[in-house]
Chains A and B, each alone.
Chain A
Amino acid sequence: GCPKDDFQEELVIRPLHSGDIYASFQFRTLWETDFMRGNKVSHYRLFPKSLGQVISKFSVRELHISFTQGYWRTMQWGQPFLPSPPGAELWVWFQDSVTDVDGTWKELTNVLSGIFCASLNFIDSTNTVQPSASFKPLGIGNVTDHRFLRYATLPREIVCTENLTPWKKLLPCGSKAGLAVLLKSEKLFHSSFHSQAVHIRPVCQDWQCKTTSWELRQTLNVVFDLHTPGQGKLEWSLFKMFSRTLTEACPLASSSKIYIDITDDPQGEQFEVSPATHLLSQAMVLGDRRTFSVYDLTQQITFGTVRSLNLLIRWKSRDMLRPLLHAERYVAGYGLQTGEIHTLMYNNHPYRSFPVLLLDSVPWYLRLYIHTLTVTSKGKDNKPSYIHYQPSKDRVRPHLLEMLVQLPPNSVTEVTVQFERALLKWTEYTPDPNHGFYVGSSVISSLVPSIVAMDTNSTREQPLFSSFFPCKEESSYFMRVYTEPLLVNLPTPDFSMPYNVICLTCTVVAVGYGSLYNLLTRSFQIEEPSPGLAKRIANIIRKMRGVPPL
């Protein structure tokens, strides 16, 4: 019969310590079908047809794409549920039946750029890498041969409404019903941070993993800055954030819930939520046991007598907690010839050290001197236990540097590497070369030791936001941190110079030619020097006086 499919939607709201509000939407479509066995899948119900066609045509095993505007400030905001670097990020695992991976990748990026109205077609071999360790498949499947993995970022990409509209179109209910009603672009893009993503992967149907199904997760994370001037009170509501309230769940969704993170404030001392709910839920998120108030939109009682839900939070006071792992990056040095990239990784755990995988993909026009690579923590040399380095080829592929570094407890580890700036050909410069050239974020992947030991009682009924990254070890959790993208100035020529040079040399040649020509063609005669001006005037005067001239 018909393959079963299932749709769930969820919104998590977390008041951040900085006083901002973090809202994270997740929409998950599960589809019991098999793209991989080669049979043509062509009848779609909840799963969007355009993405299904992409998966089956390009033999995609896993696809992760994110568009982000703004930078996630880990120090102030803590960890996001799903990290993403500024700009666009795309990573794809192909099935092992694909023979020409590079060709398929090129076609796939072109098709995706059409689907998402983004400039993903600028992904080519010069910004694509094949990480050996940092990006493992998140779904089932034991393919770990990184020949079938491609990773690329476009740090320059600007995310706007035209990317949001096709993203919303992939939802079964569109923006007509359910949580997606809140996604109004004029409010979403008037925020400190906006990130939208699409993740497709094969997952297990049941605990024995006898059958597989495809999972499409659409996530949208947004951070609203509530320190807007002129607002004395710290309070927000759904209507204030999204200029909409909720009236119904998407009728196609099997579950539709709103979670509000009240972990930091179980007694309602710092903020209060209204309307109040007695439904509480606990979940392990990023190594921390957190408590949530739950609003179930499929229950009519949630909407109350006014038939609309407008959540409201009022702040009373607040304080702050430091994240265990965060990182930052900058370019040092002066002049336009050489420079140095510094990456700082902070381990704030009081007594445990843990390893992290650092992935750096640097464009070829920054020529890295890999012998200058130093890793220091607490003033001492810290030797990476694994280094995978692929040097760049000019105009073909970027540098790829991956290494496994142990971060000592309560420390800052600094990775530096020097580079030389290359001169580009005049057609390779962007239209605004003096703006600088972007270098994508570094990616730090790590299993961070958990503060709270996770309980083994994990049931199927966990919220979506806590179930994305597979978590095997119970005492630690997987985390990915992106650093800031870099903006590097390259030596930029004066673009009118070639024409000036042509004009100048041609004039010089012409002047030389002219004088040579004159020398060759003129005949020279000795001429009587004509009398001077004074003499002539004197002669005129003498003539008038009748005196013979000089």
Chain B
Amino acid sequence: IIVGVPLWWRTTETYRAWLPVSQINELSNLQLQLSAEVEVVFARGTVTPEQQKKVPLTQIQDEEHTVDGDLFINAVCLVVTKIRRLQGNICLKCVFSRGHSFEVQDMDVYVGQRRTALLRIGAQMRVGKTLDQLLAHLEPRIKQVLQVMSFSHTDISAALSDRVRLSPGNKESIADSMRTFKSSPGYEITFSLLNPDPKSHRLHWDIEGAVQTYIQPLLTKLASVANFSIDSQTLYYAMLGVNPRFDSSLSAYTLHSDSLAHVINPVEARLGSNAASSNPVLNFLLYVPDAHHSPLYIHDRKKQEVPSNAFHSPRWGGIMVYNVNGFYGPEAVFPVDVNINMAKVMGVFLAQLRLLLGVQSSTAPSGFLVAPCGSNGLADWELDRLMWSRSVENVATATTTITSLAQLLEQIGNIVINDNIAEQVSSAVTSLQLAVAELETGNLRFALQYSKEAILASERAFFDPSLLHLLYFPDDQKFAIYIPLFLPMCVPILLSLLKIVSDARQKRREKQAKKD
């Protein structure tokens, strides 16, 4: 027994490396502090001299957002009135200025391309004696600007939509949150030209040039968020899943918005999965209807023609219908060579790409004027917004993965935990902690970086094949091995135990009999 029991114990135990369980539990509460730094600048002459005295001044305002009970997100807005740039931090600027610099009269706020918003200041300037009071007075407006330019409650809850069941009723926001792709370290963008009728149309598209001109600047700007790779293909004889209806009043074929859901499936089979990576794919299809079914128009719910003649599918991509029947006359000799106007096509695809990546310009409150985005299609503050929500989403996803892995490992004692898994888990946990800390200080770039690392490490740990090794070695099989030994051995022991019991009873009875 002295030798046997330890030997049996050593040979049958499973190796389980140490995991930082307490830290994981701590993380699972997910207390996030997001902070944005705001610099309030008053233009010359807008502030009274006595108000000017008490500069500099720093205010911290806490705002609590509760999402589904167990998550608390403190949004901390630092309001700084003096130019005080922390190293590497992103700073929103609210510039108050007199009305005369505005060109449009009924506009209160102008949001610039970088991170600056211009606010109109009116007569209320004289309200406060001190700067404190003035700021308190201006606070609601600053908050409004903040919601547009950094993050709002809906953004955060959309980013956390995986962890939190959204309240029903708010259909619009659910649709919004489901549209954007899930955060991922990389995306594959595929442009496909669908030519169902190569006998009549010989299509030429200069996709290479178009990508360089229209798509690449945006992706270069987004390079810090994710890696993108672009490719394109031409598919022949690719049909849509529904037969368009002929509308004699328009003498055109129409696709109603209700049937759009069935369009994609047969095309999808032809698109082919990406062989080179496992990143999500954004598909953009340009469909040129065949000569017998053109022109083809997409109609919305009100039976109105959709001006762009395009639609997008959430988390999948976009489809644009491009009619070419106008390029040739009725007596044309087939096949006809058609050059596709890439500027028109790419305008639609770029808008869809922005939507799908989550760079949605949420409808600004009235009185706001948002500057048109520049050559690269993305304002600085839009990128910030994206980085906020992506970091939060990454942190949430990584936390969920790590927590469920820890729970699983706790529940099933048979799973072998190798050293490399423990290493991955702890690196994920440290990255998560760092990401949370960076979010607190408002270092977006680093926060996103760490949150990406956390996701990678946690997924690697979760999907490690070694975890499956002994998963299907349940306890009943162990019983099956041990029972043939222990059952026959128990029989004499039990019998003798019974005998001892009966002997003891008899003795007691005899004793009682003697007493009597």
- Residues of A at under 8 Å CB distance from B? 2, 40, 42-46, 48-51, 53-54, 56-57, 111, 114-115, 169, 172-174, 176-177, 248, 251-252, 499, 502-503, 506-507, 509-511, 513-514, 517-518, 521
A502 touches B236 (CB 8 A): no
Please name the residue on chain A nearest to B239 by beta carbon. Answer: A176
Task: Identify which of A43, A115, A509, A517 gathers the most chain B CB atoms within 10 Å of its CB.
Answer: A43
Number of A-B contacts defined by CB within 8 Å: 93
User: Which B residues touch A176, using CB under 8 A?
Assistant: 236-237
Interface range on chain B: under 10, 10 to 19, 20 to 34, or 35 or more?
Answer: 20 to 34
B484 touches A251 (CB 8 A): no
User: Which A residues touch B232, using CB under 8 A?
Assistant: 42-44
B236 touches A115 (CB 8 A): no
Minimal beta-carbon separation of A478 from chain B (angstroms): 32
Known contacts A502-B484, A510-B485; is-contact A172 B492 (Cβ 8 Å): no
B275 touches A45 (CB 8 A): no
Minimal beta-carbon separation of B127 from chain A (angstroms): 60
Minimal beta-carbon separation of A182 from chain B (angstroms): 16
For the complex with contacts A43-B208, A44-B233, A53-B275, 11 further pairs of A-B residues with Cβ separation under 8 Å are A40-B229, A42-B232, A43-B232, A44-B231, A46-B234, A57-B276, A115-B275, A510-B488, A514-B488, A514-B491, A518-B492
A114 touches B275 (CB 8 A): yes
A511 touches B275 (CB 8 A): no
B274 touches A53 (CB 8 A): yes
In angstroms, Cα B47 to Cα A420, docked, is: 98
User: Which B residues touch A252, using CB under 8 A?
Assistant: 198, 236
Please name the residue on chain A nearest to B202 by beta carbon. Answer: A251
- Find A514's partner among B230, B270, B485, B492 (CB 8 Å cutoff): B492
In angstroms, Cα B481 to Cα A73, docked, is: 52
Chain B 415-442 near chain A by CB (<8 Å), digits 1 or 0: 0000000000000000000000000000
B489 touches A251 (CB 8 A): no
Minimal beta-carbon separation of A251 from chain B (angstroms): 5
Is the C-beta of B207 less than 8 angstroms from some C-beta in chain A? yes
User: Which B residues touch A56, using CB under 8 A?
Assistant: 276
Known contacts A43-B207, A50-B272, A53-B274; is-contact A507 B231 (Cβ 8 Å): no
- Find B485's partner among A43, A509, A518 (CB 8 Å cutoff): A509
In angstroms, Cα B489 to Cα A517, docked, is: 9
- Residues of B at under 8 Å CB distance from A? 190, 198-199, 204, 206-208, 229-234, 236-237, 270, 272-276, 335, 480-481, 484-485, 487-489, 491-493, 496
A174 touches B237 (CB 8 A): yes
B496 touches A173 (CB 8 A): no
Please name the residue on chain B nearest to A111 by beta carbon. Answer: B275
A169 touches B237 (CB 8 A): no
B485 touches A50 (CB 8 A): no
Minimal beta-carbon separation of B40 from chain A (angstroms): 47
Known contacts A44-B234, A517-B496; is-contact A502 B275 (Cβ 8 Å): no
User: Which A residues touch B230, using CB under 8 A?
Assistant: 42
Minimal beta-carbon separation of A384 from chain B (angstroms): 41
Known contacts A114-B273, A173-B237, A507-B488; is-contact A251 B335 (Cβ 8 Å): yes
User: Which A residues touch B491, using CB under 8 A?
Assistant: 510, 514
Minimal beta-carbon separation of A177 from chain B (angstroms): 7
B493 touches A54 (CB 8 A): no
In angstroms, Cα B206 to Cα A2, docked, is: 8
Known contacts A43-B231, A53-B275, A502-B481; is-contact A511 B488 (Cβ 8 Å): yes
B488 touches A172 (CB 8 A): no
Please name the residue on chain A nearest to B270 by beta carbon. Answer: A169
User: Which B residues touch A177, using CB under 8 A?
Assistant: 199, 237
B236 touches A174 (CB 8 A): yes
User: Which A residues touch B190, using CB under 8 A?
Assistant: 49
In angstroms, Cα B491 to Cα A507, docked, is: 12
| Interface pairs (23), CB distance under 8 Å | A2-B206, A40-B229, A42-B232, A43-B207, A45-B233, A48-B233, A50-B272, A50-B275, A51-B275, A54-B276, A57-B275, A111-B275, A114-B273, A169-B270, A177-B199, A251-B199, A507-B488, A509-B489, A510-B487, A510-B488, A511-B488, A514-B491, A518-B492
Minimal beta-carbon separation of A434 from chain B (angstroms): 25
User: Which A residues touch B492, using CB under 8 A?
Assistant: 513-514, 517-518
Minimal beta-carbon separation of A178 from chain B (angstroms): 10
User: Which B residues touch A499, using CB under 8 A?
Assistant: 480
B236 touches A506 (CB 8 A): no
In angstroms, Cα B198 to Cα A506, docked, is: 76
Please name the residue on chain A nearest to B231 by beta carbon. Answer: A42
Task: Identify which of B231, B232, B270 gathers the most chain A CB atoms within 10 Å of its CB.
Answer: B231
B276 touches A172 (CB 8 A): no
Please name the residue on chain B nearest to A252 by beta carbon. Answer: B198
User: Which A residues touch B489, using CB under 8 A?
Assistant: 509-510, 513-514
- Find A42's partner among B199, B229, B484 (CB 8 Å cutoff): B229
Minimal beta-carbon separation of A100 from chain B (angstroms): 17
Please name the residue on chain B nearest to A504 by beta carbon. Answer: B484
Please name the residue on chain B nearest to A166 by beta carbon. Answer: B272
Please name the residue on chain B nearest to A515 by beta carbon. Answer: B492
User: Which A residues touch B484, using CB under 8 A?
Assistant: 502-503, 506-507, 510
- Find B231's partner among A49, A111, A114, A502 (CB 8 Å cutoff): A49
